[in-house]
């Protein structure tokens, strides 16, 4: 059933937003995963050949900046050090995407957003117009939160919510959350043998939200909870959302063909 749903969703989609987590950009040693980015670029090129437009919301700036500035992967950084790492790493992040996508003859652009941009009507509309203009010119926007000026009080907090907002801005048909989680379970599968996989969600009710309740594992707060929040934002805007692992190469091809995933689809009432 998942295969048929994924194939059908991508066939009818015109605009697709991809959220890419830091662990897909940088490995545990702080090295860039160029080969994985190249496989995603291949997928995006294939979609472009079918007339579909893509947007990438990518984490990874701070992780890349850590290595450049000599910080260890597990070093605890102050806010100013994180912002400095973001400033240095953002250049490297966009350079990675630009160089790899350029080989596929795909143009890219960098767009940095903050929660203040979203909360201000004028800047929100300006950003929306810019993104839509880029898509009209067949440019793939590479979007990230502007960590160099954001503080804990005004941050989106994670790129799940930012990617959902971007999906609203460009009137996307699909938001693809690529991370280390392959979908939604009734319980945390790392601590419960009774956890069952949920391939399709047509309504985000109390039971669905309980599945993402905070736990001591990576699937708790900041993980599945933020993804459910993003799903709410998407379906409210008539955009479907899918959660799937991005660990393997060619994530879109894999998703369409046989990939394990959870789809959140809009209901009858928007």
Annotated binding site: 19, 59, 147, 159, 179-180, 221-227
**Nearest-angstrom CA–CA distance, 8 and 6:** 5
Which segments are annotated as binding site for ATP?
19, 179-180, 221-227
Residue 241 burial (CB count, 10 A): 29
User: Which stretches of the chain are DSSP H helices?
Assistant: 2-12, 22-25, 34-49, 61-69, 79-103, 115-119, 121-136, 159-169, 206-211, 225-236, 251-257
For residues 109 and 138, give the distance between their C-alpha atoms in angstroms, rounded to a whole number.
Answer: 11
Q: Rounded to whole angstroms, how far apart are CA atoms 13 and 237? A: 14
CB 37 within 8 A of CB 100: yes
Distance CA 201, CA 261 (A): 11
Q: Are the C-beta atoms of residues 185 and 254 closer than 8 Å to each other?
A: no
Q: Of the candidates 209, 164, 157, 215, which has an alpha carbon nearest to the alpha carbon of residue 190?
A: 215
What phi and psi, each to the nearest 5 degrees, are found at residue 19? -105, 125
Annotated binding site for substrate: 59, 147, 159
């Amino acid at each position: 059933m998942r295969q048929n749903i994924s194939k059908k969703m991508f066939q009818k989609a015109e605009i697709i937003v991809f959220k890419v987590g830091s662990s897909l950009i940088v490995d545990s040693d702080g090295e860039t995963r160029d080969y994985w980015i190249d496989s995603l670029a291949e997928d995006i090129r294939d979609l472009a050949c079918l007339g579909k437009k893509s947007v990438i919301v990518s984490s990874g700036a701070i992780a890349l900046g850590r290595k450049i500035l000599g910080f260890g992967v597990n070093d605890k950084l102050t806010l100013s050090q994180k912002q400095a790492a973001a400033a240095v790493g953002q250049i490297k992040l966009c350079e990675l995407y630009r160089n790899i996508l350029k080989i596929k003859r795909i143009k890219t652009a960098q767009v940095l957003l903050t929660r203040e941009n979203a909360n201000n009507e004028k800047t929100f509309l300006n950003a929306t117009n810019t993104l839509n203009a880029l898509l009209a010119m067949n440019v793939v926007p590479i979007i990230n939160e502007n960590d160099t000026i954001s503080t804990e009080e005004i941050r989106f907090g994670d790129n799940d919510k930012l990617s959902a907002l971007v999906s609203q801005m460009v009137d996307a048909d699909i938001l693809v959350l690529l991370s280390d989680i392959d979908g939604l379970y009734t319980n945390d599968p790392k601590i419960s043998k009774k956890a069952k996989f949920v391939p399709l969600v047509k309504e985000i009710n109390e039971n669905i939200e309980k599945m993402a309740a905070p736990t001591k594992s990576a699937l708790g707060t900041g993980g599945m909870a933020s993804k459910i929040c993003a799903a709410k934002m998407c379906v409210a805007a008539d955009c479907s959302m899918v959660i799937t692992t991005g660990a393997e190469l060619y994530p879109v091809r894999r998703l369409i063909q046989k990939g394990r995933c959870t789809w959140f689809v809009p209901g009858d009432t928007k």
